[in-house]
Amino acid sequence: MTSESRAPWRVSLVVMLAVGVAAALFAASLRYRVEQRNRRVAVVVDFAEAARLATASGVPIADTLFHLKRVGVTGVAVTEDTVQDLVDTGRADVSASGAMTVLQLRDAATFERVSANLRMRGMTVAHETTPSDIPTVLLWAAAPRSGSAEQAAGYVRFLASYPAVRTVGVGLPPDAVATVRSAGLTCVARISNFAGATRMTVTQVLSAIRASGADTVICTGTEVLGHYGAAKEAAEALESAGVLWGQVEFGKQKGDDRLARALDSRYVRVHSISEGEMGTLSEDDAVDRFVRAARERNIRMIYVRLVTFAGSDSVERNVRYIGRIVKGMERGGLIRPGDPKPFEATGAPVWAFGLAGMAAGSLAAWLALSVLPCAGRRWLWWALLAPLVCAAAACAGESGRRVVALLAAIAAPTLACLPLVRMIHSEDATERRQPLLHAVRSLIEATLVTSLGIATVVGLLASRPFMLRTTQFLGIKAAHALPIAIIAILLVTGLPDPGEALDKVRARMASRAQAFLGQPVLVWAMALGLIILVALMLAVARTGNEPGVGVSGMELRARALLDAALPIRPRTKEFLLGHPAWILAIGLAAMGRRRWAAPLAVIAAIGQVSVLNTFCHIHTPLVLSAMRVAVGLALGAALGAMALAIVARLARGRAEPSPSSTG
């Protein structure tokens, strides 16, 4: 089929792509609006740590909280008392014998608080008398597995062993809550899940917390409220009580994903560092962790662990430490300290998702027509059908949109790299007079093609669950590996020419593949191939938010330097690998040295893949992702230009004849 006969179908694909990208940009604009309306991040410290700091430094707790508030702290987390806390602090005595535990409360106020909180957690009340006719109250759990309890004149008797009841929550300590509120700070409650949690009991507990002055809860322990089948009830209780739930990032608490879905993503994400991990981090590392979490991952509460409790200046050291965190957060004016709130729903309509899916199908169809040795009208009809199928899948729901977004993430960067493949295989051996200018222009054009995929992916996933990582982009490693693999194969087989006969295309591709596989392997070529292979494997292994390969200490220091020197740190795969390799590959091909350009083209593909992958992290604000790509593009082009200038000068100095084309 001639190129002229394909023209109407190409026009159709272009029209569908343009309409789909426009709809995707509309959905992306709705997400951008939501992000701009939610720019406050709560800075919270732990009350127990603040009290410990006050005791160690000799500064009253009220003054300690005042100093912390002065540098940006907005709230204090207060953990609920447990039976063991009452015993450890001398507010209660315990005696246990087998399956019987007796708790004696020291004062009436604590006794009333404990009694009320046990009732809130589902215990029913019955009145009986003791053998000495003293009025008593018998409490027992509604669920048999939670044991039973009896109280009389300041006693609570549990029909369970002490290890089974020592972690039972008995409410927030009122003195701690009062201290926090008098300091003008918000109170964040830390409570644990409890046996027999129902909508009624959880609502009672949360309503009491709300009445005490706390409007946000973070779950302690290994479970969230409502674990073991009551996530929906816990979500309804949170909304009924008007309490906000804070999901701890990387906390891996049981049931947090189900509670997040039950809340329809109406919660805030919290970043914290465990006490054990704080002992292994330097102050600079801790500051960097908190700053990046707040700026880059839609975290709306940072639970800051204090850095030291020793020395007469420990309060001032912690004040400086938190001040550095707040200053880093505020850099660029993207976010600022304040009371957190959930992200709004984007409100992106289904029709926008459908048209964005049509754009993804158009990209995939264009790629198929460009790289596959197919001819005939039936192939073109299939190509026109693909956008419609993808549009239907995107309208079908979240799962369909994830699959279609993956398709766009594979197709767009691959399409962007095809001109590089064509140039390397071009039969025209004429050298260009301005290889650097041509290389830079080619890199910009490729990034614009990749941007079509970026707009499509961002539009398809423009909803609150993706912004909060309740749901994530599907197949991040496949989106990295497949475009690079396709480009590597095409560098060997070449691309079909428009209108070329099918048999001729297949024969030429097979011949090139056989010639490549039949070439003798030199030591330097083997070494270069191994280096490229290892680089590609590392690039793929380190993708995602929880990569399988860690970051070296040297790279962490380099990242810190880039963070300090640039408005936003670009991705290493772009500015240090992909973009410089693109400039070198195009420049060498333009200079007639195509044999050296081919291996560089494989590395160059990493840059375009990484550019699109940057926007697949939907929990990263759009503005930040755009800044990261722009800085990486400028820095990578500059490094590539310097490398190309050095190579060109060396080539002129050696006066080597241009190697023959690999075409």
- The tens digit of pLDDT for each residue in 345-391 reads 999 999 999 999 999 999 999 998 888 766 556 667 777 889 999 99
Q: Is the pLDDT of residue 659 over 60?
A: no
Same domain, 18 and 93: no
User: What letter would DSSP give residue 595?
Assistant: H
Q: Which of 408, 362, 419, 357 is nearest to 385 (CA)?
A: 362
Q: Give residue 626's pLDDT.
A: 96
- Residue 660 domain-assigned? no
Mean pLDDT score, 435-443: 88
Same domain, 470 and 437: yes
Using the Cα atoms of residue 354, residue 360, residue 364 and residue 369 in order, give the sign of their dihedral.
Answer: positive
Same domain, 195 and 139: no
CA 644 remoteness from chain centre: 36
Mean pLDDT score, 555-560: 68
- From 119-123, 224-228, 576-580, 649-653, the region with the lowest mean pLDDT: 649-653
Which range has highest mean pLDDT (135-139, 537-541, 644-648)?
A: 644-648
Please give the model's pTM, rounded to 2 decimal places.
0.86
Q: Quick one: which H or E segment has residue 79?
A: strand 75-79
> Between the CA of residue 138 and those of 129, 141, 336, 405, what are the distances in Å?
9, 10, 51, 59
pLDDT digits (tens, 9 = 90+) for 63-78: 999 999 999 999 999 9
Query: Are 407 and 20 a contacting pair, CB within 8 Å?
Result: no
- Residue 662 domain-assigned? no
Q: Give residue 103's pLDDT.
A: 80
Report CA Rg, the chain.
31
Q: Is the pLDDT of residue 134 over 50?
A: no
Q: Is the pLDDT of residue 3 over 60?
A: no
- Residue 661 domain-assigned? no
Residue ending a domain, choose from 309, 337, 365: 337
Same domain, 148 and 204: no
* Amino acid, single-letter form, for residue 156: V
Q: How confident is the model at residue 550 (pLDDT cuts 50, 70, 90)?
A: low
Same domain, 98 and 243: no
Which residues, other chains included, contact 514 with Cβ-Cβ below 8 Å and sequence gap of 6+? none
Q: Report angle CA 89, 94, 97 to the nearest 5 degrees.
A: 155
Q: Give residue 373's pLDDT.
A: 66
- Residue 68 domain-assigned? yes
Same domain, 403 and 326: no
Q: Quick one: which H or E segment has residue 69?
A: helix 61-70
- Residue 103 domain-assigned? yes
Same domain, 372 and 239: no
- Residue 474 domain-assigned? yes
| Alpha helices in 213-296, H assignment, sequence order | 231-241, 256-262, 275-278, 283-296
More confident call, 108 vs 150: 108
Q: What region does 486 belong to: left with phi over 0, alpha with psi -120 to 50, or beta?
A: alpha
Q: Report angle CA 215, 220, 222 to the nearest 5 degrees.
A: 140
Q: Is the pLDDT of residue 5 over 70?
A: no
More confident call, 510 vs 53: 53
Q: Is the pLDDT of residue 144 over 70?
A: no
Q: Give residue 153's pLDDT.
A: 40
Residue percentage of the chain with pLDDT more than 90:
52
More confident call, 505 vs 161: 161
Same domain, 145 and 223: no
Same domain, 137 and 216: no
Q: Is the pLDDT of residue 509 over 50?
A: yes
User: What letter would DSSP give residue 306?
Assistant: P
- From 288-297, 360-369, 582-591, 600-609, the region with the lowest mean pLDDT: 582-591
d(CA 192, CA 219): 5
Same domain, 156 and 188: no
More confident call, 555 vs 106: 106
d(CA 506, CA 502): 6
Same domain, 531 and 628: yes
How many domains does the chain fold into? 3
Domain of 323, CATH number, reads: 3.20.20.370
Mean pLDDT score, 129-133: 43
d(CA 478, CA 435): 33
Mean pLDDT score, 412-430: 82
Q: Is the pLDDT of residue 147 over 60?
A: no
d(CA 482, CA 336): 39
Residue ending a domain, choose from 288, 313, 337: 337
* Amino acid, single-letter form, for residue 396: A
CA 362 remoteness from chain centre: 28
Same domain, 24 and 46: no
Q: How confident is the model at residue 7 (pLDDT cuts 50, 70, 90)?
A: low
Mean pLDDT score, 550-563: 67
Report the relative pairing of strands 155-158 and 100-105 from DSSP bridges.
antiparallel
Domain span at 135: 84-165
Mean pLDDT score, 418-430: 76
- Residue 515 domain-assigned? yes
Residues β-bridged to residue 100: 97
pLDDT digits (tens, 9 = 90+) for 78-122: 999 999 999 998 888 888 887 777 888 888 788 888 888 888 887
Query: Are 30 and 346 a contacting pair, CB within 8 Å?
Result: yes
Q: Give residue 597's pLDDT.
A: 83
- Residue 645 domain-assigned? yes
Instruction: End-to-end CA distance of the chain: give it in Å, rounded.
Output: 23
Mean pLDDT score, 11-39: 95
Mean pLDDT score, 32-36: 96
How many H-runs (helices) and E-runs (strands) does the chain carry? 26, 14
Q: How confident is the model at residue 128 (pLDDT cuts 50, 70, 90)?
A: very low
Q: Give residue 384's pLDDT.
A: 81
Residue ending a domain, choose from 337, 354, 380: 337
* Amino acid, single-letter form, for residue 274: S
Q: Give residue 135's pLDDT.
A: 37
Q: Is the pLDDT of residue 1 over 60?
A: no
Q: Give residue 544's pLDDT.
A: 58
pLDDT digits (tens, 9 = 90+) for 473-498: 988 889 999 999 999 888 888 887 76
Question: With DSSP H G I counted as helix, E B as strand and the rest as coil, what are the percentages for the chain, rounded to 5?
Answer: 60, 10, 30
Q: Give residue 143's pLDDT.
A: 31
> Quick count: other Cβ atoms within 10 Å of Cβ 130?
11
